[in-house]
Amino acid sequence: MSIQRTQVAIIGAGPAGLLLGQLLHRAGIASVIVERQGGEYVLGRIRAGVLEQTTCDLLDEAGVGARLHAEGLVHGGIELAFGGARHRIDMHTLTAGKHVTVYGQTEVTRDLMEARHAEGLTTVYEASDVALHDFDGTHPCITYTHGGSAHTLHCDFIAGCDGYHGVSRASVPEGALRTFEKVYPFGWLGILADTPPVSHELIYSNHARGFALCSMRSPTRTRYYVQCPLEDKVEQWSDAAFWDELRARLDPAAAEALVTGPSIEKSIAPLRSFVAEPMRFGRLFLAGDAAHIVPPTGAKGLNLAASDVRYLSRALIEHYGDKSSAGIDHYSDACLKRVWKAVRFSWWFTSLMHKFPDTGEFGQKLQQAELDYLVHSRAASTALAENYVGMPFEAAGHPV
C-alpha cells in the first residue's frame, strides 16, 4: 500500500489527459496520470486526423508542435462529391486565411507521450480498479491497483480524461448528471493503407450506396472510410470488397485515380452524439470523450477534447496563480457552449452526407438540394468552412 500526493490527478492517458498534464507542467503544476491500458495499446488506437488551428496552437503551447509542423499537411479546402462530380469548398478564402492540419491523433498522442517521458513526469500505465473519492469535498483522492499493490493518490483536483467508457463520469451520483444522446443507424468501416492519396485534399462523398470519405495520414498513407450497416463484422469485408465499394461511391475521375493496396488496419466504428452536463462536480472535471462524443464526420472529437483542456488548464493555472476560482466556476458552461456547436455541426454534416435507412427518396432529394445549395451559395459554403476550420475562442472580446 502506497500513499502519494499531487496537485492534479488525471485519469486517462489519451490525448486529453496527456495534453492537460503537459500544459500544467509548463505552468509549474504537478500532476500524475493514471491509465488503465499500456502505452502501446493507447498508441494502437486509430482515430481521426484533422486538427483545427486552435488545437495546433495549444499543442505548440504545450511544447509538442515541432513534428506536427514538420510533417502535418496543411489543407485549405475539402471536396464534396455528389451527383458524379466533385465541388471544392475553399475554406482558406471563405474564412479569411484559415486552414486545418492533417496529422493523425496517434501521432499527437505519441508526441505528448514522448514529451512527458522526456520531462520525467509520472504516468502509471496498466492501473486497474481506479476509483474516485470525496470530489464533492475539499480533499479528493483516487485509489487504484498497480503491480499487484494498492495505491492512494491524494490531490486538490481530479481531471476525468478517461473517455466514453471511463470511470469518472460513472462516479458522479445519479441525478447530478443529465445526458443527451443520438445513435445513428450505421457505422463507418475504415482502412489504413500505404497508398498515395486519391486527391491532395479530403473527399467527402454523398452517394446512393452510402457515404464515403477519402482521408490521409501522409503523402504515402491513406485513411479511407465507407458507411456500413451496424450489424456488419469487419471479417466480412475483404480488402477487395472494401476497395470496390469505395470506388463505387466516388465520382468517375476519383474512382479512376484510386490506387489500392493491402490494408494495414481495418475496423468498424459506430456513430453517436452524446453530451453529459454539467462537466464539473466539485473538484472533479470531465474533459474530452468522458463528457461528450461526436460522430467522426468533420473530425471534431480531438479538437473538442483540446478545447476542454484549454479551458481546464487555464482555470487551474488561475486557481493556483491568482487564487481565483472564476475559471473553475465557469469551466462547464464555457466548454459546453463550444461542445454543443460542434455537436450540432457534426450532426448536420452526418445528416447531409449519409444514406439513412428510414428517410427514403424524399430524404435523398432534400440532401441533393442542400448539397447543390451549399456549393453554389457563398453564405452556405462559409457556414461549412468556418465550422470545419473551427470556431474562434473569442470574437469581438466575447467568448464564443
List residues binding ligand APR (CB under 6 A).
11-17, 34-37, 42, 47-48, 105, 127, 130, 161-163, 165-167, 288-290, 301-302, 305
* Residue number, 45 or 365, with CB nearest to ligand APR: 45
Query: Which entry of 295, 296, 311, 319 is annotated as an active-site residue?
Result: 296
Total residues contacting ligand PHB by CB under 6 A comes to 11
Binding partner selected for residue 162 from ligand PHB, ligand APR, none, CB under the kind-specific 5 to 8 Å limit: ligand APR
Under the criterion CB under 6 A, does residue 335 sit at the interface with ligand PHB? Answer: no
Q: Which of residues 190-229 bind ligand PHB (CB under 6 A)?
A: 202, 213, 215, 223
Per residue, the 3-state secondary structure of the chain, as one string, reads: CEEEECCEEEECCCHHHHHHHHHHHHCCCCEEEECCCCHHHHHHCCCCCEECHHHHHHHHHCCCCHHHHHHCEEECCEEEEECCEEEEECHHHHCCCCCEEECCHHHHHHHHHHHHHHCCCCEECCCEEEEEECCCCCCCEEEEEECCEEEEEECCEEEECCCCCCHHHHCCCCCCCEEEEEEEEEEEEEEEECCCCCCCCCEEECCCCCCEEEEEEECCEEEEEEEECCCCCHHHCCHHHHHHHHHHCCCHHHHHHCCCCCEEEEEEEEEEEEEEECCEECCEEECHHHCEECCCCCCCHHHHHHHHHHHHHHHHHHHHHHCCCHHHHHHHHHHHHHHHHHHHHHHHHHHHHCCCCCCHHHHHHHHHHHHHHHHHCHHHHHHHHHHHHCCCCEECCEEC
Q: Which of residues 53-72 bind ligand PHB (CB under 6 A)?
A: none
Clarify whether 388 is annotated catalytic: yes
- Shortest Cβ 106–ligand APR spacing (Å): 10
Clarify whether 69 is annotated catalytic: no
Q: Which of residues 127-186 bind ligand PHB (CB under 6 A)?
A: none
Binding partner selected for residue 50 from ligand PHB, ligand APR, none, CB under the kind-specific 5 to 8 Å limit: ligand PHB
d(CA 57, CA 315): 18
- Shortest Cβ 373–ligand PHB spacing (Å): 21
Under the criterion CB under 6 A, does residue 49 sit at the interface with ligand PHB? Answer: yes
- Shortest Cβ 272–ligand APR spacing (Å): 11
- Shortest Cβ 12–ligand APR spacing (Å): 3
- Shortest Cβ 78–ligand PHB spacing (Å): 9
* Residue number, 17 or 296, with CB nearest to ligand PHB: 296
- Which span (6-14, 15-23, 42-50, 329-337) binds ligand PHB, by CB under 6 A? 42-50
Under the criterion CB under 6 A, does residue 354 sit at the interface with ligand PHB? Answer: no
Binding partner selected for residue 210 from ligand PHB, ligand APR, none, CB under the kind-specific 5 to 8 Å limit: none
Is residue 266 within 8 A of residue 191, CB to CB? The reply is yes
Clarify whether 75 is annotated catalytic: yes
d(CA 194, CA 223): 9
Interface characters, 276-315, with ligand PHB (x: CB under 6 A): --------------------xxxx----------------
- Shortest Cβ 8–ligand PHB spacing (Å): 30
- Shortest Cβ 173–ligand APR spacing (Å): 18
10 Å CB burial of residue 37 (0-12, 13-18, 19+) is middle
Which cell numbers in the block locate residue 40? 502501446
- Which span (44-52, 62-70, 147-155, 157-165) binds ligand PHB, by CB under 6 A? 44-52
Peptide bond into 270 cis (omega under 30): no
Give Cα separations from 104 to 68, 80, 94, 111, 287 (angstroms).
9, 21, 25, 11, 20
* Residue number, 181 or 265, with CB nearest to ligand PHB: 265
Clarify whether 204 is annotated catalytic: yes
Binding partner selected for residue 49 from ligand APR, ligand PHB, none, CB under the kind-specific 5 to 8 Å limit: ligand PHB
Clarify whether 320 is annotated catalytic: no
Query: Which entry of 300, 319, 354, 355 is annotated as an active-site residue?
Result: 300
Chain positions contacting ligand PHB, by CB under 6 A:
48-50, 202, 213, 215, 223, 296-299
**Which positions are catalytic?**
75, 204, 296, 300, 388
